[in-house]
Structure 1
Amino acid sequence: MTRPRRVGRKSTTREPIIQEPEPFEPEATRRDADLIESSRANRGWWDRNADDYQIEHGTFLGDDRFVWCPEGLDEVEAELLGPPEDLKGKDVLEIGAGAAQCSRWLAGQGARPVALDLSHRQLQHALRIGGPVPLVEADASALPFADGSFDLACSAYGALPFVADPVLVLREVHRVLRPGGRFVFSVTHPVRWAFPDEPGPEGLSVSASYFDRTPYVEQDEEGRAVYVEHHRTLGDRVRDVVAGGFRLVDVVEPEWPAWNTQEWGGWSPLRGNLIPGTAIFVCERD
């Protein structure tokens, strides 16, 4: 994503022109990034960018709507966690909750959600919106809950794309779920890794190997990561789910709906009608 460049402020008096320094543009590269570096970088990135994210996408997400992906698949219609009437009284953990929009919707169905996020600033937006949802700031790789605390868990683009060891997260979710519990999570569709992250025609041509798992890293002048995203192939995701102790029930690939005319980063009607943008994994704990 390109960022606007600042220019010098023109003087209207005899004062010298004040040249403001241009903001640092992180270097985009592909290199290894371990669990600690990824967590630190992404916590910082979301804290710095939470305000812009909520301004840009808050209307689409709503205050108490459960949207799985930029395609706009809504849990009201999808029922991936089960029929809404069955959610009443269920203890639900939302991982990577952001401003807790999904948790707020779950509370409206009579569930007892807990919204967890790595970013303090994202959770401040949850407080700003308000609502009867407990908020927890923690890393998904080390969930601060006792074994068997929840009936359901969900994550709409939270945690899994940003962690170096997704199996560790899956095992933690498995641990805090009760037997028979369900975990549903959405991530960028793995095939998208091979295409440029552009919403227009330039995003329709393969530019990288789908099989290259080297993380995408943005780093500062000292080489410290300030944003990290990890790639897993579709087969990797399936194996991760199984290694985490779950049984895979379904993989949902939402089609782009005719009503959705917006662009969201690299997601767009043009691309959405041709290649999948999201994969949703429905998993159960036996």
Structure 2
Amino acid sequence: MLSVSSRANRWWWDGNADDYQVEHGGFLRDTGFVWCPEGLDEAEAGLLGEVRGRRVLEIGCGAAQCARWLAAQGAEVAAFDVSHRQLQHARRIDLDTGLRVPAVQADAEAMPFAGASFDVACSAFGALPFVADPGAVFREVRRVLRPGGRFVFSVSHPVRWAFPDDPGPRGLTSDRSYFDRSPYVERDEHGTPTYIEHHRTLGDWVGLLVASGLTITGLLEPEWPEGHDRVWGGWSPLRGRHLPGTAIFSCART
């Protein structure tokens, strides 16, 4: 059974997938692996290591742009997302590019894959900010990875929670506690949650990963690159010069 968070976010992404792909699809590219609004590209970063001949799982794939790039590099890829509409966009891009990615609709807290079936798992802002129990996701990741497998995921940098989600000067002044874990919730006229995003501190993320049995091997906070003038929600060149926008965790399944 889906949690309240999963139900709300499935509904939200089904309703907003079209606008999301129109607004961000060009930046993400149909066969591109962009980790974050800062534009860090896996082709240059190499956070996943050599993927040719490896079985790779993308968690919260959206329209599967990252998975499609991995397939083009010779990986054997599977992907999933909670949103049916996002997966329809994935199928559309499959047909446009001729590069098909096997993708299913599923919840990250209960992955429909056999244990020890992947060498690598990855998630670029997929699933983890939107689930009520990220520890369950990490335990599922550990379950589906083979011993020695690698897991890399990106999320909004936790420090951003203490600042307004505003790309302008207002977004440079903290107006709430970093330590307030209350989720951000949007509701419809009946009070039913229609969007939920959860906050964890850096210490929370570390503790959850350790408790799941995964080993943290790296933490990257991408700097805003010179000449990158794209605004994406609360991300902007102005804020990027002062505050980290993204945290990318690299982990291993020992």
TM-score range, shorter chain: over 0.9
Partner letter of residue 119 of structure 2? D
- Name the counterpart of 1:225: 193
1:132: how far off? 2.2
State the Cα RMSD in Å. Answer: 0.7
Residues 117-162 of structure 1 deviation map (CA, whole Å, 9 limit, x = unaligned): 0000000000001122101110000000110010000000001100
Partner letter of residue 40 of structure 2? L
| 1:247 aligned onto 2:218 | no
Distance 2:82 2:215 in 1: 27
Q: How does 1:53-202 map to 2 (within 5 A)?
A: 53-82=20-49, 86-130=50-94, 131-202=99-170
Contact 2:106 2:112 in 1 (8 A): yes
Structure 1 unpaired stretches of 5+: 1-34
- Percent identity reads 69
Larger radius of gyration between Structure 1 and Structure 2: 1
Partner letter of residue 191 of structure 1? V
Partner letter of residue 124 of structure 2? A
- TM-score w.r.t. structure 1 length? 0.86
User: Stretches of 4+ moved more than 3 A in 1?
Assistant: none
Match of 2:121, SS? strand
- TM-score w.r.t. structure 2 length? 0.97
Distance 1:220 1:208 in 2: 24
1:258: how far off? 1.0
1:115: how far off? 1.4
2:10 to 43, 64, 68: 43
| 1:257 aligned onto 2:191 | no
Partner letter of residue 39 of structure 2? G
